[in-house]
Amino acid sequence: MGNCCERAASFFGPQKNTYVRVSLPAVCFVWQIAMVVLFGVFIRYDDESDVKGWLQYKKEHNITSDIENDFYFRYPSFQDVHVMIFVGFGFLMTFLKRYSFSGVGFNFLIAAFGLQWALLMQGWFHSLDPVTGKIHIGIESLINADFCCAASLIAYGALLGKVSPVQLMVVTLFGVTLFAVEEYIILDLFHCRDSGGSMVIHTFGGYYGLAISWVLYRPNLHLSKRLQGSVYHSDLFAMIGALFLWMFWPSFNSAISHHGDGQLRTAINTYLALASGVLTAVAISSLAEKKGKLDMVHIQNSTLAAGVAMGSAAEFMIMPYGSLIVGFCSGIISTFGYLYVTPFLEKYLKLQDTCGIHNLHAVPGMLGGFVGAIVAAAASVDVYSEQGLINTFSLEGKYRNRTLGTQGAYQAAGTCVAIAFGLVGGVCVGFILRLPIWADPADDFCFDDEAYWELPEDEETIPPVLEYNNHMTHKSQDTCESNFALEES
């Protein structure tokens, strides 16, 4: 297998090679060493994770029990988010028949690098101690770092199969950097609430990936068409990823929302929206096929759009039926996207979006941003109470006098900032990735793990062929013997 594919590759694409033996280790080592140095200079434990700090914190705040440590409020949600990042996103991208190693493996690499860089970038922008010049990290920092990676992983979804791991590291480096800046603008300057990241994660990540993919357009991608589909079992692996994303989305949205009712309400709203989205995604998927058959692409992806669309509003008093309505719409929009918009984008806008992140992240994220804006603008003292409004929208300090209409406007503006950052940032990064130094695969060698992985000889595809040859030469041998013969050869 190895041999013959190499031959094929050299026949079709002699102009490109996918050797990353120098570049990949170099990038990994240099960046990891940089991380060690920068962490040494900047990163310290926060009060809740520091031996001395926590003793002092308890004394100052008159806390008697360790259960008040933020660890116990957020750690279960953090672990759910962690599973979403590594197993959820990772396995969702294993659906291609021969790109599963790269799907889950490069996802792993990106996230492992991205979360370190995110701790630094987010630290510099959000929590740099002005006196000591240090960043103090705790459980919320870990969650935010995971969130930040998510944007780059979403971008990977659009690029899946068409880029090298070195390019992905570049995508992540810039992705995390841009994320920290737009997040600073949206959450700090605009003072938006976006606990599940409809804007900062999904809208930004979606458009970032789409813009890169647009710049990297490959006119001859059809040469890899043979590998662009799934096989039965690769779809089941992808289903593992899809379900872990679906199940843990309530934790994703509620992981950093307000303690108490905030986390609980966010979880409830997300749970309801997701359930609603499944039914409409199934309905549209079935409607679109002449006998009503379902398409795994929709089941794996469109059922998740509701979680994306609830990323801003889930923390607000959107009411249970409001959540159902948002889920209802997202399931429909997302499935329509897979059916009609993705093919349209590819044909007319020259935009190749492998996983359809346009339908799963970009559009539902945008929807979520605007739903958040509307729900915020519609908030009233009647429903929230005075104190409740202040808590929910953090209208304290210099934001004390902001009206809810203004808050809504800022939420909407935040969504636009996320789109702009995604598109402009993505185009710039895309041009960087077009430099001929990144060892990306030739057009006929896309969607193929062979490019970057040592693959096992595959018992399941190879033997019958050889067996056949054996049969031809030693006619009377029985199946079993030839089977053993070939496996030993």
Residue ranges in 341-380 that form contacts with a second copy under rule CB under 8 A: none
Interface with a second copy, residue 97, by CB under 8 A: yes
Among 92, 138, 216, 305, binds a second copy (CB under 8 A): 138
Of the candidates 28, 144, 165, 153, which has an alpha carbon nearest to the alpha carbon of residue 91? 153
Q: Among 128, 181, 240, 341, which residue interacts with a second copy (rule: CB under 8 A)?
A: 240
Q: In whole angstroms, give the CA distance from residue 179 to residue 425.
A: 10
Distance (Å, rounded) from C-alpha 389 to C-alpha 380?
8
Q: What is the CA radius of gyration of the chain?
A: 24
Instruction: Indicate the burial class of 382 (C-beta count within 10 angstroms; 0-12, 13-18, 19 or more).
Output: exposed
What does each C-alpha distance from 352 to 204, 231, 301 come to in angstroms?
Answer: 18, 21, 17
Binding-site member from 50, 125, 402, 434 for a second copy (CB under 8 A): 50
Site for a second copy, residues 165 to 184, rule: CB under 8 A: 165
Q: How far is the CB of 304 from a second copy (least distance, A)?
A: 11
Q: How far is CA 240 from CA 95, 166, 232, 250, 300, in A?
A: 10, 27, 13, 17, 9
User: Counting contacts by CB under 8 A, is residue 309 touching a second copy?
Assistant: no
Phi and psi of 63, rounded to 5°?
A: -95, 130
CB of 408 to a second copy, least distance (A): 17
Q: Select from 13, 16, 71, 374 the one that contacts a second copy (CB under 8 A).
A: 71
User: In whole angstroms, how close is the CB of 454 to a second copy at the nearest point?
Assistant: 5
Smallest separation (angstroms) from a second copy to the CB of 425 = 23
> Rounded to whole angstroms, what are the CA distances from 249 to 42, 72, 115, 213?
32, 19, 19, 26
Per-residue HEC secondary structure of 383-420 comes to HHCHHHHHHHHCCCHHHCCCCHHHHHHHHHHHHHHHHH
Q: Is 13 in the site for a second copy (CB under 8 A)?
A: no
Tell me how far apart the alpha carbons of residues 273 and 479 are, in angstroms, rounded to a whole number.
Answer: 54
> Within positions 440 to 459, which residues make up the interface with a second copy, using CB under 8 A?
452-459
CB 28 within 8 A of CB 168: no
Among 101, 125, 184, 399, binds a second copy (CB under 8 A): 101
| 67 near a second copy (CB under 8 A) | yes
Q: Toward a second copy, which CB reaches closer, 424 or 443?
A: 443
- The contacts of residue 357 (CB under 8 Å, 6+ apart) are 154, 155, 157, 158, 205, 206, 209, 210
CB 43 within 8 A of CB 145: no
Looking at the Cβ atoms of 188 and 487, the one nearer to a second copy is 487
Q: Among residues 13, 126, 217, 239, which is the contact residue for a second copy, using CB under 8 A?
A: 239
Which one of residues 259, 343, 344, 380 is an interface residue with a second copy (CB under 8 A)?
259
How near is the Cβ of 128 to a second copy at its closest, in Å? 15
**Torsion (CA) 483, 487, 488, 489 in degrees, nearest 10:** 100
Choosing from 187, 192, 210, 267, the residue that interacts with a second copy (CB under 8 A) is 267
- Whether residue 407 contacts residue 393, with contact meaning beta carbons closer than 8 Å, is answered with yes
Q: Is 461 in the site for a second copy (CB under 8 A)?
A: yes
Q: Among 153, 212, 255, 272, which residue interacts with a second copy (rule: CB under 8 A)?
A: 272
Instruction: Specify the stretch interacting with a second copy by CB under 8 A; choose among 153-161, 195-203, 317-325, 404-412.
Output: 317-325
Among the listed residues 181, 59, 67, the one whose alpha carbon sits nearest the alpha carbon of residue 124: 181
Binding piece for a second copy, criterion CB under 8 A, among 19-27, 173-181, 196-204, 363-371: 19-27
Residue from 128, 181, 294, 377 binding a second copy (CB under 8 A): 294
Task: Using CB under 8 A, pick the residue from 182, 183, 194, 235 that binds a second copy.
Answer: 235
Span interacting with a second copy, options 185-193, 315-323, 369-377, 411-419, rule CB under 8 A: 315-323
Candidate ranges 48-56, 339-347, 364-372, 427-435; the one touching a second copy (CB under 8 A):
48-56
Helix (H, G, I), strand (E, B) or coil at 448: coil
CB closer to a second copy, 348 vs 456: 456
39 binds a second copy (CB under 8 A): yes
Judged by CB under 8 A, which of 282, 409, 413, 423 binds a second copy? 282
